[in-house]
Structure 1
Amino acid sequence: MKDANRPVSSRRELFKDAGRIAAASALAGVAVPSVHAAGSDLIQLALVGCGGRGTGAANNALSTKSGPIKLVAMADIFEEKLWRSYKNLAEDKDLQGKIDVPIDRQFIGFDGYKKAIDSLKKGDVVIFTTPPAFRWVHFTYAIEKGVNVFMEKPVTVDGPTSKRMLGLAEAASKKNLKVGVGLMSRHNRAMQELAKRVHNGDLGEIILQRGYRMHGPDGYFHSLPTPQGMRELYYQISRFHSFLWASGGNYSDFYIHGIDHLCWMKNAWPVKAEAVGGRHYRKSPEGLTYIDQNLDVYSVEYTYADGTKFIYDGRCMDGCEGRYASFLHGSKGSAIVSKAGDVGQPSSIYKTQSMKRPDLVWESKVAPEERDPYLNEWNDLIDAIRKDQPYNEAKRGVEASLVTSMGRMAAHTGQEITFDDMLNCKHEFAPGVDKLSADSPAPLQADKDGKYPIPNPGITTTQEY
C-alpha cells in the first residue's frame, strides 16, 4: 500500500421526553435524507479513535463478506497511534485492497472526527472507538451527515450524557440510520440460544444472577504523574481508564459486558444498586504512587423490580485468584452464561444448582464461522445496512451504560442508587467536552500534590460521582 512503510515522524505536522428535548437541541434545523448502501454497493468506513479496539473493529468490519467494503479515512488526536493503526491494517494480508487511506484522509486533532465523517457519503459507516466522553459529540455529527454508526461501549458515563444519547438514538431511528454498539455478547450465538431457552422458562423463575471479572491491574492502573512535556489533557485521554470524566473508570469500561448480558438473560434492567468497594495498593514497582480515580475492588448488589438479586464482583489486584465468568440460578436449575471472559463458549444449562457435568441438560453448539461475536456484530450491522432493515442498538447501549454507572456510583458514594437517580443526576463529568481543543485545560485538575479526586464513600455525594 502507498505510504505503508513511512515512519511516524514523517507524517503531517436519554428516556423519551428528556431524549426528545436533547435531540431537538442537538439537531435543530437538520434534515438529512435517508440514503443507504444496498445490495452490492461499496460501503466506505471511517475510523475515529485508532487504538487497539478501534483497529480491531476496523479489521472486523473489513472482514465481512456480504459485499465490497473499504476503509477510506482515519482520525485520532495522537499521530503515532493513528499511524500505527494504519500500518497494522495496511500490512494485514487478509485486508489487501480494502485500505484506501492516503495521508490527506488521515486526520489529527479534536476536529478530526468531522473531517473523517465528511470523507464518507450518506449511508456509509463511521466507527467511534474514542473514550466514551466524546461519544455524544461524534454521534451528533454522524446523524447530521446521514452516516451509519458503530460505537464502542460504554456510550455514556453520567446522567446528562445518557439523556442526550437517548435523544440522539431516537433521532437516528427517525433518519433510518443503522447503529451498532460494541456489546458483542448480544451477538454471541451461544448466548442467543441460551437467552431463548431462559426466556421460554427452561430455568423456571430466575432467583439469582452472578457475574465476576477479577484479574490483575489492567489499563488504568499504570497511570503515574503526567510525563514532563505532555499536556495534561492529552495525558488524561491517553490514560482514559484512570479518569471518570473520560471513561467512567474501570468499572464502566471493564464490567459493562457482564452486566449487559446478565440483564439480557433477565430481560430487564435493575431498578437500584447497593455496593461496597475499596482502594488498596497504590505503589508501582518503582515506588511511585498511582493516581487513578478507581477502586481496586467492587461488589455490587443490583435489584430488579420483582426483587431478584444480581451480584457483580470486580477486582483488579495482582496475586489474587482470577475469575471472569457469569452464572444464572433458577427455580428449575442453573446455567453458565459465559464460561470464561465476556463471551466464553459454550453456554450450558443444568438440572441442579451444582453446574457439574452429570447434571448437564443442554450445551450450546455453534458453527465455526459464527463463533466470533466481534465479527458477528459486524455481519449483523452490515447486513442490516445492505438490506435496509431497522437496526439501532443505541438505546440499549445507553441503558446498559447507565446501569453500569449506577453500580459505580453506588460503590463510590456508599449510597443506594436507583435507575432514576442515575438518569436524573445533574452532574456531568465533562460538560464542555464538545469544545475541547489542543490548548484546552483538562476537565479534571490535580491538587497541589499532583493527585486527583478519589471516591470517598459516605463523604462523596451523588452529584460528584
Structure 2
Amino acid sequence: NDYYIHNIDECCWMKAAAMGDPEHTGGDALNVMGSLDKWTWPIMAQATGGKHFTKNRQGQPYVDQNFDNYSVEYTYADGTKLMHYGRTIEGCHNEFASYIHGTKGFGTFSKNGHWPAPSALYSGLTPNPKNETWKFPARETNPYQDEWEDLLDAIRNDKPYNEAERGALASQVCNMGRMAAHTGQRVMWDDALKADPLAPEIEKLVGLGGDSAPVKADADGFYPTPQPGITKKREY
C-alpha cells in the first residue's frame, strides 16, 4: 500500500503515529530521570487528546489515526512529573522546545528543536538573562551528525556501540502516552509492554502491496480511529 510508504506518521502500527515523531522526539532526551548513576523511566501516563478537523484547508479528508493534539502527564516512581504537549494544526502557535521547572530554578533544555538548544539554567522561574547561572560553554555541534560519527567510529575501530535498548525504551514512553490518550485510561509501564500488538506477526510482512498491510482502510478510505472511554483495551 503506497499510502504507508509516504505517510509513515499517519498510522499507529507503522511509526507510533504523530506521538512517535514529530511530537515526542522533543521529549526523548527528558524521558529518563534521576542521577547519572541511576536512570529511571516513568511508571505511569495519563493523557487527553482530540481530533478537531476531518478535512484540510483544501477540502481533502484526513484519513489517518492521529489526534490533532495530545497532552500527556508522565509520573515517575518518586513523584516527579514530565508534561508533554503536542499540537499539529495549521495556523497555530508553533514551538518545538523542552523546559525544566524545579524548586530551585528554571532550565532551558532546548528551545529551538534539537539544535541549537541553547541549554541554560536560571535562579528564578523564568529565563531572565539577569538570573542565568549556567549555559552550555561551547559551540553546539549538530547531534544528527554526532550520532553518525559515533556509529561510524565504532564500526571502523571495532568499539562496542549499541543504542537499541535506549531507543526502544524511549519509544516505550511514547507508546504509554499515546495509549493513555487513545484509550482514556491510565497506562502503567507494564500495561504498555504487555498490550496487544498493533501489527501482529509484523515480522512476517514482506511488502505493503495488496491486502498485506496489518491495518486496512474501510470502503471510504478511512482508517480506524481511537475512541477514548469506549475502546479501552486497544487504541482503535
Q: Same fold (TM over 0.5)?
A: yes
RMSD: 1.8
C-alpha contact 2:55 2:61 (8 A) present in aligned 1: yes
Tell me what 1:241 maps to.
9
Extract unaligned runs of 5+ from structure 1.
Answer: 1-232
- Which of the two has greater helix per residue? 1
C-alpha contact 2:31 2:173 (8 A) present in aligned 1: no
Tell me what 2:201 maps to.
431
Matches within 5 A, 1:411-426: 411-426=181-196
**Which of 18, 22, 28 is the aligned partner of 1:260?**
28
Task: Number of aligned residue pairs: give it.
Answer: 231
Amino acid at match of 1:462: K
CA–CA distance in structure 1, aligned partners of residues 116 and 200 of structure 2: 35
Q: Structure 1's 322 and 432: CA in aligned 2 closer, same or farther, altered over 3 A? A: closer
Displacement over 3 Å in runs of 4+? 264-267, 437-440
Tell me what 1:456 maps to.
227
Q: CA deviation at 1:427?
A: 2.7
Tell me what 1:394 maps to.
164
Which stretch shows the higher mean deviation, 264-273 or 432-441?
A: 432-441
**Which of 159, 173, 177 is the aligned partner of 1:403?**
173
Q: Percent identity?
A: 44
Matches within 5 A, 1:198-209: none
TM-score, with structure 2 as normaliser: 0.90
CA deviations 1:39-66 (Å, max 9, x no partner) are xxxxxxxxxxxxxxxxxxxxxxxxxxxx
**Which of 146, 149, 152 is the aligned partner of 1:376?**
146
CA–CA distance in structure 1, aligned partners of residues 205 and 97 of structure 2: 40
Tell me what 1:271 maps to.
43
C-alpha contact 1:349 1:362 (8 A) present in aligned 2: yes
For the pair 1:312 / 2:88, whether they are aligned, the reply is no
Amino acid at match of 1:394: A
Larger-Rg structure: 1
Query: SS of the counterpart of 2:137?
Result: coil
Query: SS of the counterpart of 2:97?
Result: strand
CA–CA distance in structure 1, aligned partners of residues 91 and 208 of structure 2: 40
Query: SS of the counterpart of 2:193?
Result: helix
C-alpha contact 1:446 1:453 (8 A) present in aligned 2: yes
Q: Structure 1's 263 and 288: CA in aligned 2 closer, same or farther, altered over 3 A? A: closer
Q: Structure 1's 271 and 286: CA in aligned 2 closer, same or farther, altered over 3 A? A: same
Q: Structure 1's 357 and 265: CA in aligned 2 closer, same or farther, altered over 3 A? A: farther
Extract unaligned runs of 5+ from structure 2.
Answer: none
C-alpha contact 2:172 2:192 (8 A) present in aligned 1: yes
CA deviations 1:82-140 (Å, max 9, x no partner) are xxxxxxxxxxxxxxxxxxxxxxxxxxxxxxxxxxxxxxxxxxxxxxxxxxxxxxxxxxx
Q: Structure 1's 286 and 394: CA in aligned 2 closer, same or farther, altered over 3 A? A: same
C-alpha contact 2:112 2:118 (8 A) present in aligned 1: no
C-alpha contact 1:409 1:462 (8 A) present in aligned 2: no
Q: Structure 1's 434 and 329: CA in aligned 2 closer, same or farther, altered over 3 A? A: same
